[in-house]
Amino acid sequence: MGSLRFLRFLMISNNHLSGQLPSALQNCSGIHTLDLGGNRFSGNVPAWIGDRMPNLLILRLRSNLFHGSIPSQLCSLSSLHILDLGENNLSGFIPSCVGNLSGMASEIDSERYEGELTVLRKGREDLYKSILYLVNSMDLSHNNLSGEVPEGVTNLTRLGTLNLNQLSGVIPSGMASLTSLNHLNLSYNNLSGRIPTGNQLQTLEDPSINENNPALCGPPTTANCPGDDQPPKPRSGDNEEDENENRDGFEIKWFYVSMGSGFAVGFWGVCGTLIVKNSWRHAYFRLVYDVKEWLLMVISLNVARLRRKLNLGSI
């Protein structure tokens, strides 16, 4: 296999292969996709993957028996946009140079892709085919890693999925600017401090992403950070605005009360008088009757005149 210099895709996942990766693979320098997930490979993750496979776009070693630390040589894979080392026995720190994986910060040429790949996202395995070139993912979960979340992660501006485990310290504030991030899993870590506020981290709806991090505080968790439970002191300008609003509301209420009272007094002043005084009531209804008779007479005269004019016009 080491003589296959023009090999582009090596995808032999979910078999029963075991042992260490053969060193002859480093001769496949033109390889784009290396998917060996779901086997029983062991030993250290070979450093020569980073040294001898500069065109690598996808590296999936998930669900094997690799141990040791993540080699810093992987940071030289500037075209890599899917890195899945989850479910191994890796330990140590995440390399601080992880921000050099510029493939997770740039557009990818779709013509370089063939085949399909399974990516763990939001707790389930999704199979990607035609849109695989759009996926930017880093999964280091279910290992024994330690240390802090590297600041370099904030450089991966097109990163869509990030799964990390067993880390400590604070979440880098720059992660709030990862606008392409649609799935972040920081559960089962030892993270602490306030979750950075800003564009993205408050829009992720899954509450489990921060699970089992009791020292985290601030939205979207329900825990208050130190100082959050102290109500802010009102400003003098705010007091004046509140007084003006109260005064305006009081005046509006009195306007409606006075308008309603005036209507009631006027209505019952007229109707009440007609009910109580018989002479006024008879005079009122007599006036109404006379006005009605006058209107009927005027209408009758006008109708008669109109008929005469129409008859004369037809002769």
* Strands, sheet with 215-217, edge to edge from the N-terminal-most edge strand: 168-169, 190-194, 215-217
Q: Is the pLDDT of residue 286 over 70?
A: yes
Q: If pLDDT is split at 50, 70 and 90, which confidence band does 199 have? A: low
% of the chain with per-residue pLDDT over 70:
72
Where does residue 76 rank: exposed (0-12), middle (13-18), buried (19+ CB within 10 A)?
middle
Tokens read off for 281: 């009531």
Pairing of strands 117-121, 58-60: unpaired
Both ends of the chain: CA-CA distance in Å?
119
Q: Return the number of other C-beta atoms located less than 10 Å from residue 278's C-beta.
A: 9
How far is residue 22 from each of residues 28, 39, 149, measured CA to CA in Å? 11, 14, 32
- Asked if omega into 220 is within 30° of 0 (cis), the reply is yes
- The pLDDT mean for the chain works out to 78
Amino acid 226: pLDDT? 82
pLDDT at 272 over 70: no
Which pLDDT does position 232 carry in this prediction? Answer: 47
Buried b (16+ CB within 10 A) or exposed e, 109-133: eeeebeeebbbbbeeeeeebeeebb
Encoded tokens for 206 = 């899954």
Contact assessment for residue 47 and residue 27, using Cβ atoms and an 8 Å cutoff: no
Measure the CA–CA gap between 152 and 180, rounded to whole angstroms: 16
CA distance 10 to 15: 13
> To 10 degrees, the CA torsion angle through 212, 218, 222, 226?
100
Q: What is the pLDDT, as a whole number, of residue 256? A: 72
* Whole-number pLDDT of residue 220: 74
The residue among 217, 209, 172, 212 whose CA lies nearest residue 190 is 212
Of the listed ranges 15-19, 186-190, 281-285, the least confidently predicted one is 281-285
**Position 289 confidence tier, pLDDT thresholds 50, 70, 90:** confident
* Sheet hosting strand 40-44, strand order edge to edge: 18-19, 40-44, 65-68, 89-93, 144-146
| Distance separating alpha carbons of residues 200 and 93, to the nearest angstrom | 25
215 vs 237, higher pLDDT: 215
- Is the pLDDT confidence value at 276 over 60? yes
With contact defined as beta carbons under 8 Å apart, do 185 and 205 qualify?
Answer: no
Residue 246, classed as helix, strand or coil, is helix
**Which pTM value belongs to this model?**
0.67
| Residue in 127, 153, 129, 154 with CA at minimum distance from that of residue 140 | 153
Are the C-beta atoms of residues 46 and 22 closer than 8 Å to each other? no
**Which range (145-149, 200-204, 249-253) has the least confidence?**
200-204
Question: How high is the pLDDT of residue 308?
Answer: 78
**CA 155 – CA 313 distance, rounded (Å):** 96
Residue 282 pLDDT > 80: no
The pLDDT tens digits of the residues spanning 17-76 come to 999 999 999 998 889 999 999 999 999 999 999 999 999 999 999 999 999 999 999 999
